[in-house]
Amino acid sequence: MTGAPSSHSREYRDKIAEGEYLIVEEGNGGAIGPFGEETYNFRETWTLWRLKGGRYEVEGERRFESPRDVHHSNRFLVELSRDLTMTRATEYTKLKWRKDSGPLSCEFLPRELHCSSGAQDPKQAVELRMPMEHPFGLLWPISVFSLAGVSRYVERDLNREIPIELVTLEQSNATYPVSPTILSGSLRYLGEEDLETATQKFQAYKFLFRVPSKPQFLIWTSSKGILLRLAVEHAHEDWPQEGIRLTRFQRWVEF
């Protein structure tokens, strides 16, 4: 959840790339997300800018249905470090159970996730400060650049894996407008692999994220750290496909 727009001057930024992500969910009637927050037909379009000093900024829009046939379009802003790890995320929407809220923001600190609801009335404000022991990312609400950024913490060593945490923020009820859950697991580098997506061929880095008693995630990124694909691996081979795909990608510089 997040505060004010970025203060970076638009005069000093260069357009690097733009693209679109699509959520693939062939089961559950096409629904993704926790109970009460089911989302359908999720798409995310974005533009990546390089700022003065070498950091990056992503401006984008998320379009989805929740519930089905009720259309939403939410703008978002992501601030990234020089190595494309997320430092701050802002979404221009409101909490389900707090009319006095928005924009929503989360700040990704070295050992803490700090989220704010952006309320005008301090009594209505929702603040979360979650100490984190290991490198972490945001799983829900969907945060593609956060998931990709987690891979930057892993050395490209086939014999080593590191502990990773993924955070889920659910909007449970009026008493608990935001309920966090932390999934602890491990991330391992699996090597390089040829991958075709968005009508292009990439030499991708492949990673495996594992959480006890949960499905595994396979993650492919470009050499620069852009998420190319995420696939959820279930125990049964005939399980319906689900994951994230980069469906459109254009770059203006070598990136």
Model pLDDT for residues 18-71, shown as the tens digit of each residue = 999 999 887 888 888 887 888 999 999 999 999 988 999 999 999 999 988 899
Q: Domain count of the chain?
A: 1
3-class secondary structure, 177: coil
* pLDDT at position 173 over 80: yes
- Stretch 128-139: mean pLDDT: 94
Q: What's the mean per-residue pLDDT of the chain? A: 90
Q: Residue 12 has what pLDDT? A: 81
Is 140 a domain residue?
Answer: yes
Is 254 a domain residue?
Answer: no
Query: What residues have CB less than 8 Å from 73, skipping those under 6 apart?
Result: 61, 62, 63
Contact 230, 25 (CB under 8 A): no
Is 217 a domain residue?
Answer: no
Q: Residue 10 has what pLDDT? A: 55
Is 239 a domain residue?
Answer: no
Within 10 Å of residue 40's Cβ, how many Cβ atoms? 20
Burial 205-240 (b: 16+ CB within 10 A, else e): bbbbbebeeeeebbbbbbeebbbbbbbbeeeeeeee
Is 87 a domain residue?
Answer: yes
Q: Residue 5 has what pLDDT? A: 43
pTM: 0.90
Please count the helices (runs of H) and the strands (runs of E) in the chain: 1, 15
Q: pLDDT: is 60 or 236 the higher one?
A: 60
Q: How confident is the model at residue 185 (pLDDT cuts 50, 70, 90)?
A: very high
Is 224 a domain residue?
Answer: no
Q: Residue 32 has what pLDDT? A: 86
Percent of the chain with pLDDT over 90: 72
Q: Residue 235 has what pLDDT? A: 67
Q: pLDDT: is 13 or 107 the higher one?
A: 107
Look up the domain containing 117 and give its range. Answer: 10-185
Q: pLDDT: is 118 or 2 the higher one?
A: 118
Is 243 a domain residue?
Answer: no
Is 72 a domain residue?
Answer: yes
Q: Residue 233 has what pLDDT? A: 84
